[in-house]
Amino acid sequence: NAGVTQTPKFQVLKTGQSMTLQCAQDMNHNSMYWYRQDPGMGLRLIYYSASEGTTDKGEVPNGYNVSRLNKREFSLRLESAAPSQTSVYFCALRGNTEAFFGQGTRLTVV
Amino acid sequence: KQEVTQIPAALSVPEGENLVLNCSFTDSAIYNLQWFRQDPGKGLTSLLLIQSSQREQTSGRLNASLDKSSGRSTLYIAASQPGDSATYLCAGRFSGNTGKLIFGQGTTLQVKP
C-alpha cells in the first residue's frame, strides 16, 4: 500500500498508558481517516479529517483524539488505554474516487 | 442507517471453481462501491471500484457488478486458485457522507488445491 505509512506496526500497552499512532501520506490527498478493525465487527470509523486543520468524529470516537497539523500527517492518540481498545488500527486516504489503506497497527492493551 | 452486509461469512471451494461473493447495502444513494482483499495480518488491498454510474468493472479474473436498485454488488472470481484465499471486504461510499466508507464484515474465502 504505497503512499500510506503507519507507525508503529505493533504495540503492547498497559492499561492507563498513552500512545500516539502515526500516519503519513505522500499522495497529496485531503481526506484522511482512522478505522479500527475487530473480529465480528468489521471496520469502524473512529475519526476523519476532510482537510488540514479539520477533524470530525466517526462512529466510535470515545477514548481517542486526533490531530491533523498538516496535509501529510494524521495522528491518533489514546490518552489512557483500555483493554477494549485492543484492535487493529488502519489509516486511510480518499482520493478523487478510490480509498487507500495503510498496513495497520496491531495494538494490544493488557 | 446506512449498512453494508456480506453473506456468507466464510466460503470454501475447490480450485478451479468460479465463485460469486455477495455484498448488499441499504441506501440506494450510493456514490461508489469498492472491493478489497485482506490477507491474514495484513492491510487492505483495493481490487475494484465501481462508480454509481457504472454497472460493472473487470480486472483480470475479477468482475464486480453494482445494482443500485436492488442494493447489491457481486464480486465474481473466475477459475479460483489457492492464492485467492483471503478475506474479501466490500465498502460503500454514500452521497453526503463526506467520503466515509461503510464496510461489510467480509467473506473469508478458502480455495482448496
| Average pLDDT for chain B | 94
A104: CB partners within 8 A, 6+ apart: A6, A9, A37, A88, A89, A90, B42, B43
Q: Which of A1, A43, A45 to mutate to test the interface with B (most CBs of B within 10 A)?
A: A43
Kindly determine whether residue A1 and residue B44, on different chains, have CB atoms separated by under 8 Å: yes
pLDDT for position A106: 97
**Grid coordinates belonging to A21:** 499512532
Name the residue facing B43 among A31, A45, A104 (closest C-beta). A104
Tell whether the model's pLDDT for residue A101 goes beyond 80. yes
In tens, the pLDDT along A8-55 reads 999 999 999 999 999 999 999 999 999 999 988 889 999 999 999 999
**Grid coordinates belonging to B107:** 467473506
Tell whether the model's pLDDT for residue B97 goes beyond 70. no
A29: CB partners within 8 A, 6+ apart: A93, A94, A95, A100
What does the alpha-carbon distance between residue A83 and residue A69 come to, in Å, rounded to a whole number? 28
pLDDT for position B95: 81
**Grid coordinates belonging to B76:** 465474481
A37 to chain B, minimum CA–CA distance in Å?
10
Name the residue facing B43 among A48, A56, A102 (closest C-beta). A102
What is the percent of chain B with per-residue pLDDT over 90, rounded to a whole number?
86
pLDDT for position A95: 80
pLDDT for position A1: 47
